[in-house]
């Protein structure tokens, strides 16, 4: 009887989960090592001690075009744990007395977008320029352009930038247009906006991410025949010749045979730290030069969340705060009481070094700026606020960063049995949940049948 080939997956984020399931489906004997107590990677929740409520490390939202991510949630049995809108609806708040919304009809997006833009509550000239900009998305941009370069060259200054493009860039790229690769961002927009109405619609989780990913993962992996080890931090990889020969888990050494695979689904910064002085044995490792961008979330509960009067108006689950800094969005979890909401800041480094109390004060001041006087603003002094900060939430998909991102699979010049995947690899997308799953799919497609 011939034993099955083994595969060791390092990291239990969305890329690691997708890789583990895919390898098991291909007949491998798979072991998944996750350093934390739970799978999910950078989409996880932590418990608030006072209430036991789980708060996400960041308000991660999906789009209907995230087919790989949706397939992973189906495998885990949690695809229904998100509000699955059938069309894109996004609200904009300009200040205490002005708001607008972008609502696409349930038509294919190329047909729906012109009508939606023409009804957007900004001056007619700005709407026409925004429409011309959207029409040019299909043409892409040179690799060296920032998205700010694209905006300037396409005449999108002023309200098209502030109302439509900048919020979208922050949501997808987690950085400002001045730091984002135009080609990467436009590629993501083409996937969302060149198909059916549902492709561009938000999929907003109705449960914490740990309930969608971490909690169901052990059983689903076991059903697939995958051995999961949590609390298993990989501390070293041994390489001899052109093969990884051993995995070090603290004091434990796991021997790796010549026919076995080692698949890293670790974040770029963790993998770069792991291989450290052994970097030359792993081939081209330019990914260590990728920058990271944070996500900071301020979760508000206004008094007794079950019986609230003092709350910001419910304008939908996603509200862009136009011109808002450092927080860019007000977000609500569908089904939550109206007195629960979050402010989110993406890619802003002004919080570095600030205390939780200082971040809370900034969040409250921004709410005063956008919602003015009234009972809600008066009640902010007594709001229950919790801050969550993920320092390395995403890599920065900057111009020419493709040169730093290896293709999913074997690193050029690296060990034959060592493969990499993750949202930071060259998937054709920026740092998204879908990019993580797609990287695993590309890795699996490159394996011999």
Structure confidence at residue 308 (pLDDT): 57
* Domain assignment of residue 282, yes or no: yes
Rounded mean pLDDT of 186-201?
Answer: 89
* Percent of the chain predicted with pLDDT > 70: 98
Identify whether 46 is part of a domain: yes
Q: Give the pLDDT band (50/70/90) at residue 307.
A: low
Angle at 137 between CA 120 and CA 183, to 5 degrees: 130
**49 located within any domain:** yes
| 279 plus 297 within the same structural domain | no
How large a percentage of the chain has pLDDT more than 90?
71
Q: Which two tokens stand for residue 198?
A: 């549902």
Beta strands, E only, 206-350: 227-230, 236-240, 243-249, 252-255, 261-264, 292-301, 318-321, 329-331, 340-346
Domain C-terminal end among 170, 196, 222: 196
Lowest mean pLDDT among 10-19, 301-310, 318-327, 439-448: 301-310
Sign of the C-alpha dihedral, residues 86, 92, 98, 101? negative
Q: What is the CA radius of gyration of the chain?
A: 23
Largest CA distance in the chain: 76
Structure tokens at 372: 């003015």
Of 353, 372, 395, the position where a domain reaches its end is: 395
Residue 242 and residue 319 in one domain: no
Three-state DSSP class for residue 196: coil
Comparing 148-162, 187-201, 388-402, the range with the smallest average pLDDT is 187-201
Q: Which DSSP string do the residues of 277-291 spell out, in sequence order?
A: GGGGGG---GGGG--
Read off the CATH number of the domain in which 378 is found: 3.90.660.20
Backbone angles phi, psi at 239, to 5 degrees: -125, 135
Note the pLDDT of residue 1. Answer: 38
Does one domain contain both 297 and 378? yes
Verify that 344 and 372 share a domain, yes or no.
Answer: yes
Q: What mean pLDDT is predicted for residues 363-392?
A: 91
Tell me the per-residue pLDDT of 280-294, one tens digit each, with 9 for 90 and over.
889 888 999 999 999
- Which of 363, 378, 395 is the last residue in one of the domains? 395
What span, in angstroms and rounded, lies between the C-alpha atoms of 290 and 70? 27
Both 254 and 339 in a single domain? Answer: no
Task: Please compute the mean of the pLDDT values over residues 272-282 and round it to a whole number.
Answer: 87
201 domain residue, yes or no: no
User: Residue 81: inside a domain, yes or no?
Assistant: no
| Cα dihedral 419→423→426→427 (10° resolution) | 110
Return d(Cα 410, Cα 407) in angstroms, integer: 8
pLDDT tops 90 at residue 415: yes
Contacts of residue 339, defined as CB under 8 A and 6 or more positions apart, other chains included, come to 300, 301, 302, 303, 304, 305, 308, 310, 311
Domain of 213 in residue numbering reads as: 6-61+208-288+402-445
Q: What is the pLDDT of residues 53-64, one digit of tens each?
A: 899 998 888 999
Q: Same domain, yes or no, for 273 and 407?
A: yes
Q: Are residues 278 and 301 in the same domain?
A: no
Query: Which has the minimum average pLDDT: 68-72, 200-204, 364-368, 404-408?
Result: 200-204
Provide the pLDDT for residue 343.
97
Work out the average pLDDT over 361-386. 91
Q: What is the pLDDT of residue 377?
A: 86
> What is d(CA 377, CA 365) in angstroms, rounded to the nearest whole number?
9
pLDDT band at 396 (very low <50, low <70, confident <90, very high): very high
The CATH number linked to 412 is 3.50.50.60
- pLDDT digits 0-9 by tens, 115-170: 888 788 888 898 899 889 988 998 889 999 999 999 999 999 999 999 999 999 99
Most confident of 109-123, 266-280, 293-307: 266-280
- Same domain for 143 and 17? no
CB burial class (10 A; 0-12, 13-18, 19+) of residue 255?
exposed
Count of domains forming the chain: 3
- The pLDDT-based confidence of 296 (bands split at 50, 70, 90) is very high
Beta-strand ranges (E) seen in 302-416 are 318-321, 329-331, 340-346, 384-395, 409-410
Q: Do 386 and 305 share a domain, yes or no?
A: yes
CA torsion 210-212-217-219 (nearest 10°) is: 120
Q: What is the pLDDT of residue 3?
A: 67
**DSSP three-state, residue 223:** helix
DSSP collapsed to 3 states, 345-357: EECCHHHCCCCHH
CA distances for 237 relative to 227, 248, 278, 442, angstroms: 20, 6, 9, 24
Residue 107: which pLDDT band, with cuts at 50, 70 and 90?
Answer: confident
Closest CA to 262 of 144, 372, 421: 421
Burial track 329-367 (b if 16+ CB lie within 10 A, e otherwise): bbbbbeeebebbbbbbbbbbeebeebeeeebbebbbebb
Same-domain status, 242 and 329: no
Cα separation of 100 and 121, whole Å? Answer: 5
Token pair belonging to 71: 């397939």
The confidence score (pLDDT) of residue 305 equals 47
pLDDT surpassing 90 at residue 338: no
In a domain, 171, yes or no: yes
Q: What is the pLDDT of residue 360?
A: 96
Q: Of the candidates 336, 320, 317, 338, which has an alpha carbon nearest to the alpha carbon of residue 328?
A: 320
Residues 176 and 325 in one domain: no
The answer to whether residue 80 sits within a structural domain is: no
* Range 211-238 average pLDDT: 97
For residue 71, is it within any domain? no
- Same domain (yes/no): 371, 434: no
Rounded mean pLDDT, 246-255: 96
Q: How far is CA 339 from the centre of its chain?
A: 25
Which one, of 377, 343, 346, lies nearest residue 360 by Cα? 343
């Amino acid at each position: 009887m011939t034993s099955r080939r083994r595969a060791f997956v390092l990291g239990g984020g969305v890329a690691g989960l997708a890789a583990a399931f895919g390898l098991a489906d291909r007949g491998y004997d798979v072991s998944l090592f996750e350093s934390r107590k739970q799978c999910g990677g950078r989409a996880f929740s932590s418990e608030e001690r006072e209430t036991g409520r789980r708060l996400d490390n960041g308000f991660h939202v999906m789009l209907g075009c995230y087919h790989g991510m949706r397939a992973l949630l189906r495998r885990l049995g949690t695809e229904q744990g998100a509000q699955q809108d059938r069309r894109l609806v996004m609200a904009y708040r300009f200040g205490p007395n002005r708001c607008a919304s972008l609502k696409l009809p349930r038509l294919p997006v190329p047909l729906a977008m012109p009508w939606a833009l023409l009804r957007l509550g900004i001056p007619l000239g700005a709407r026409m320029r925004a429409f011309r900009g959207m029409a040019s998305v299909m043409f892409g941009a040179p690799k060296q352009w920032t998205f700010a370069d694209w905006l300037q060259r396409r005449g999108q200054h002023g309200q098209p930038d502030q109302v439509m493009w900048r919020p979208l860039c922050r949501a997808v790229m987690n950085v400002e247009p001045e730091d984002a690769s135009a080609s990467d961002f436009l590629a993501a927009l083409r996937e969302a906006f060149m198909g059916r109405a549902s492709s561009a619609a938000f999929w907003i989780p109705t449960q914490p991410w740990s309930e969608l990913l971490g909690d169901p993962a052990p059983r689903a992996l076991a059903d697939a025949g995958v051995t999961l080890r949590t609390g298993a931090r990989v501390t070293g990889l041994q390489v001899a010749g052109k093969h990884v020969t051993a995995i070090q888990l603290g004091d434990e050494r796991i021997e790796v045979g010549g026919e076995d695979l080692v698949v890293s689904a670790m974040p770029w910064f963790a993998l770069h730290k792991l291989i450290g002085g052994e970097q030359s044995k792993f081939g081209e490792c330019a990914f260590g030069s990728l920058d990271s961008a944070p996500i900071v979330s301020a979760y508000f509960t206004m008094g007794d969340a079950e019986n609230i009067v003092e709350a910001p108006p419910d304008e939908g689950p996603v509200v862009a705060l136009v011109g808002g800094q450092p927080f860019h969005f007000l977000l609500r979890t569908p089904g939550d009481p109206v007195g629960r909401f979050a402010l989110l800041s993406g890619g802003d480094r002004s919080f570095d070094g600030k205390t939780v109390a200082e971040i809370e004060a900034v969040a409250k001041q921004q709410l005063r700026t956008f919602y003015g006087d009234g009972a809600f603003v008066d009640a902010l002094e007594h709001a229950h606020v919790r801050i969550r900060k993920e320092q390395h939430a995403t890599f920065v998909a900057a111009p020419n960063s493709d040169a730093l991102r290896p293709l999913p699979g074997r690193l050029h010049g690296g060990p034959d049995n060592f493969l990499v995947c993750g949202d930071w690899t060259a998937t054709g997308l920026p740092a998204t949940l879908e990019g993580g799953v797609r990287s695993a799919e590309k890795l699996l497609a490159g394996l011999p049948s």
